[in-house]
Amino acid sequence: MNFKRNIIVTGGAGFIGSHVVRLFVNKYPEYRIINVDKLTYAGNLANLKDIEDKPNYVFVKADICDFDAMYELMQKYAVDGIIHLAAESHVDRSIKDPFTFARTNVMGTLSLLQAAKLMWEAQPEKYEGKRFYHISTDEVYGALQMNRPEGIEPPFKTVASSEGHKAYGDDFFYETTKYNPHSPYSASKASSDHFVRAFHDTYGMPTIVTNCSNNYGPYQFPEKLIPLFINNIRNRKPLPVYGKGENVRDWLFVEDHARAIDVIFHEGKIAETYNIGGFNEWKNIDLIKVMIKTVDKILGNPEGHSLELITYVTDRLGHDARYAIDSTKLQKELGWEPSLQFEEGIEKTVRWYLDNQEWMDNITSGEYEKYYQDMYKGR
Active site residues: 138-139, 185
* Shortest reach from residue 304's CB to ligand NAD, in Å: 29
249 binds, among ligand TYD, ligand NAD, none (CB under 5 to 8 A by kind): ligand TYD
Q: For residue 25, give the amino acid letter.
A: V
Rounded Cα distance, 228 and 42, in Å? 14
* Shortest reach from residue 32's CB to ligand TYD, in Å: 32
70 binds, among ligand TYD, ligand NAD, none (CB under 5 to 8 A by kind): none
SS3 percent helix, strand, coil of the chain, rounded to 5, is 45, 15, 40
* Shortest reach from residue 88's CB to ligand NAD, in Å: 6
134 binds, among ligand NAD, ligand TYD, none (CB under 5 to 8 A by kind): none
* Shortest reach from residue 342's CB to ligand TYD, in Å: 15
Give the nearer residue to ligand NAD in terms of CB position, either 37 or 306. Answer: 37
The 10 Å Cβ neighbour count of residue 132 is 25
Q: Positive or negative, the Cα torsion across 148, 154, 155, 156?
A: positive
CA distances from 6 to 55, 253, 275 (A): 13, 27, 26
Give the nearer residue to ligand NAD in terms of CB position, either 11 or 127. Answer: 11
Helices assigned H by DSSP within the chain: 15-27, 67-76, 91-96, 98-101, 109-121, 184-203, 225-234, 254-267, 284-299, 328-334, 342-355, 357-364, 367-376
Binding interface with ligand NAD (CB under 6 A): 10-11, 13-17, 37-40, 42-43, 63-65, 85-89, 104, 108, 135-137, 189, 212, 214-215, 221
* Shortest reach from residue 311's CB to ligand TYD, in Å: 10
Give the nearer residue to ligand NAD in terms of CB position, either 89 or 306. Answer: 89
Give the nearer residue to ligand NAD in terms of CB position, either 166 or 257. Answer: 257
Task: Characterize 187-204 residue by residue with b for buried, 16 or more Cβ atoms within 10 angstroms of its Cβ, and e for exposed.
Answer: bbbbbbbebbbebbeeee
284 binds, among ligand NAD, ligand TYD, none (CB under 5 to 8 A by kind): ligand TYD
Minimal CB distance residue for ligand NAD: 14
For 188, which DSSP code?
H
37 binds, among ligand NAD, ligand TYD, none (CB under 5 to 8 A by kind): ligand NAD
Give the nearer residue to ligand NAD in terms of CB position, either 50 or 121. Answer: 50
* Shortest reach from residue 47's CB to ligand NAD, in Å: 8
Rounded Cα distance, 307 and 58, in Å? 45
Q: Positive or negative, the Cα torsion across 5, 11, 13, 19?
A: negative
Give the nearer residue to ligand NAD in terms of CB position, either 56 or 104. Answer: 104
Contact call for residues 91 and 183 (beta carbons, < 8 A): yes
Binding interface with ligand TYD (CB under 6 A): 91, 214, 224-225, 228, 240-242, 247, 249, 284, 316
Cα–chain center distance at 332: 22
